[in-house]
Structure 1
């Protein structure tokens, strides 16, 4: 008597194989639905707000100037403001950067020259300009924030109570 399964390559799947295939397909569907639900529930802007809050919060524990990254702070600020449908004045961008105005101006000029920011005249105040992200930069920020979603999902899943087995 032979102890191993000896079905040929062309053999029809047995009942158990069909059930396992259906279970696998159903699990893939459930995983897809959960992923879609999380994508709808956790938008890139939500992740961006968490990152921004964390960046601002470090100043409560350490000297914030040690962690100054004006380009990153401005990029995230402009992205979040645009996502909320608000125009971004240069003065608001200065404040969001957390660095002195002259330093912020240098960084904004550099980001404009790199094509990451676009600058347009303010409609009512000639002293100000309105800033926006270029399409390529906006998409890059959105993709980066979206890539952080699995980390957030793992943290939220870890915090949920486990069902009794």
Structure 2
């Protein structure tokens, strides 16, 4: 309980004590029931908020889906290095990890030269920021710009209702062809 909550609680308790004259016991019981009901509602709201799927989890689902499509179809057909890099850098930053350019190359699934071209384009557009690696001058660290991070989070959180609706559905068995 923080300081403001303690002050409010103390004032609440003082009002109960002041009202403890005639009918004080009934008022006291009624106010306690109200306080208990409010605490129960706050607990339900808090539990519901904690159940929500976060932006990082939605991003991880998308990234896994993008990786899986290359196992079924020719990966060159669905190559989108900018999108793959965006998700990769977002997820790494959400996990508190620094992103080296070489890791971003590998995550993109395209040849190094293509990845470098895309990274340079994303940096020039202001979506990515590049900084020298603190210990290895051959490497650079990538991060998302604040605007790109906020936009990515907004986009991923906007998909939350769809993902939660899908997660709540019972699994549908695929139909077999006889």
Residues 29-61 of structure 1: CA distance to partner in whole angstroms, max 9, x if unpaired? 9x966752433xx11000110000000001111
2:115 is aligned, of 91, 99, 104, to 104
- Which structure 1 segments of 5+ residues have no match? 1-28, 161-165
Counterpart for residue 66 of structure 1: 77
1:83 aligns with 2:94: yes
For residues 79-135 of structure 1, give each alpha carbon's deviation from its aligned partner in whole angstroms, at most 9, with x where no partner exists: 000000110000000000111101100100000000000000001111110000000
1:55 is aligned, of 59, 66, 72, to 66
3-state SS of 1:94 partner: helix
How far apart in 2 are the matches of 1:158 and 1:85?
32
Pairing 1:1-165 to 2, within 5 Å after superposition: 36-39=49-52, 42-159=53-170
Structure 2 unaligned spans of 5+? 1-41, 172-178
TM-score, normalised relative to structure 2: 0.68
- Distance in 2, matches of 1:155 and 1:76, equals 21
- CA RMSD of superposed structures (Å): 2.1
Cα distance, 1:141 vs structure 2: 0.6
CA distance in 2, matches of 1:72, 1:121: 23
* TM-score after normalising by structure 1: 0.74
Q: Distance in 2 between matches of 1:61 and 1:113?
A: 34
